[in-house]
Structure 1
Amino acid sequence: MQNSLSQSELDIASLLVETLNLEDESPEDIEPEASLFGADETGLGLDSIDALEIAQAIAQKYGVQIRADDARNKDIFRSLRSLTEFVVANKD
């Protein structure tokens, strides 16, 4: 299914695929509103270790810090779209 990803969403999707070595995923095929975590069929099924790796990669590439104890993490990591919106709103 072809998605309408913004350039920012595509950039973050590419970062996810590269950082997490998601060999079976193409950045263009990640649904922007699909759950990043959990095991639903449209989501990526990521876990808390993946979240730490993503946060580190985002900090290195965009200078945006996502703290492990941030109460907003559930919302930030809800989907590709929510993660991208957070990064765009907070990058240098």
Structure 2
Amino acid sequence: MKDTAASPAPGNTDALQLEVAALIVEALNLDLEPASIPPDDSLFGEGLGLDSIDILEVALVVSKRYGFQLRADNEDNVRIFSSLRSLTEYIAANRTQ
């Protein structure tokens, strides 16, 4: 039997967004609450301040958690990782787990 409590219901993007934010905070050992990450702020630079190494780490944990590959050579990576909302939307559209 599948444990549905651990994963948000399909279509529940707010819950998924908070789950993805928590994944980012945990993966990068950030000293902030997942809910405090603004969904439309940039993940890079002036926003959350992530760099390319951070994004690689996030891509790895997302790939493991949601069952699909985020490839370094994907030309859409700048858009995918532009904000928490865009990353969440990409995960919702491509997840297998």
TM-score by length of 1: 0.88
Aligned CA-pair RMSD: 1.0
1:85 corresponds in structure 2 to 89
C-alpha separation in 1, matches of 2:78 and 2:87: 10
2:37 corresponds in structure 1 to 30
C-alpha separation in 2, matches of 1:30 and 1:51: 15
1:9 and 2:9 aligned: no
Q: 2:29 aligns with which of 17, 21, 42?
A: 21
Shift of 1:52: 0.5
Q: Which runs of 4+ in 1 moved over 4 A?
A: none
Shift of 1:70: 0.4
Larger radius of gyration: 2
1:4-55 deviations in Å (ceiling 9; x for gaps): x8101000000000000001x11010000000001x2xx1100000011001
SS state of the match for residue 16, structure 2? Answer: helix
Unmatched segments (≥5 aa) in structure 1: none
The number of aligned residues is 84
C-alpha separation in 1, matches of 2:93 and 2:62: 13
Aligned residue type for 2:39 = P
SS state of the match for residue 38, structure 2? Answer: coil
Shift of 1:64: 2.0
TM-score by length of 2: 0.84
Unmatched segments (≥5 aa) in structure 2: 1-12
Identity of aligned residues (%): 52
SS state of the match for residue 42, structure 2? Answer: coil
